[in-house]
Amino acid sequence: MHVVYPAVLAALLFSIGVYGVLARRNTILVLMSVELMLNAVNLNLVAFDVWLRDALHGGQVLTLFVIVIAAAELGVGLAIVLAVFRNRSTVEIDHLRDLAELPDQGPDDPEGPGGPRGPDDGGPHDPPAPGDPGPHDHTALTPPPAPSPPGAPVPTGGPRTAAGPVTTAGDAPRPSGAAPAAGGAR
């Protein structure tokens, strides 16, 4: 057997694998393409080992190591893909860009998008701008107030003023059928 036939087949397999890695958007298909590339390398290792008639069969031994590494890589890769699918409900590579840095510079910036950034570029370590609550504003994380016990006065929702506290529904009797005035005032 001549070495050209397995070398050409390995080149075709490797080319198909490279195309799959570059063109596919599904993570499973990308992993399959990487495996195809590794199998092309294995085919070359075995073919050249037979063609050179190596007494120690170094190509075949190296092929076994590549197979073991490929199996471990596939196991870890599939575990990562399953974890991502559980969290995001997709394995499309284009939808997994949450950790990518987005250019936050405008089109009028001479540096262009993704150019060098200065010390006050609006990053996470810069001080907040005046009037900006900043990254440490935890008002969205505060739990809602606990429900008041039965029979306790219920606030009408009016703001506190310098004249006194918020009026409550239990402060003054209201005629039946009368609606409260706007803004909590009576």
42 burial level (CB within 10 Å; 0-12, 13-18, 19+): buried
Q: Which residue has the higher pLDDT, 37 or 166?
A: 37
Separation of first and last alpha carbons in the chain: 101
Output DSSP code: residue 25. Answer: -
Three-class secondary structure of residue 24 per DSSP: coil
List domains and CATH numbers for the chain: 4-95 (1.10.287.3510)
Residue type, 168: T
Query: For 11-18, what is the mean pLDDT?
Result: 97
Under a CB-based contact definition with an 8 Å cutoff, are residues 47 and 3 in contact?
A: yes
For residue range 51-96, list pLDDT tens digits in order: 998 888 899 999 999 999 999 999 999 999 999 889 888 888 888 7
**How far apart are the C-alpha atoms of 117 and 120, rounded to whole Å?**
8
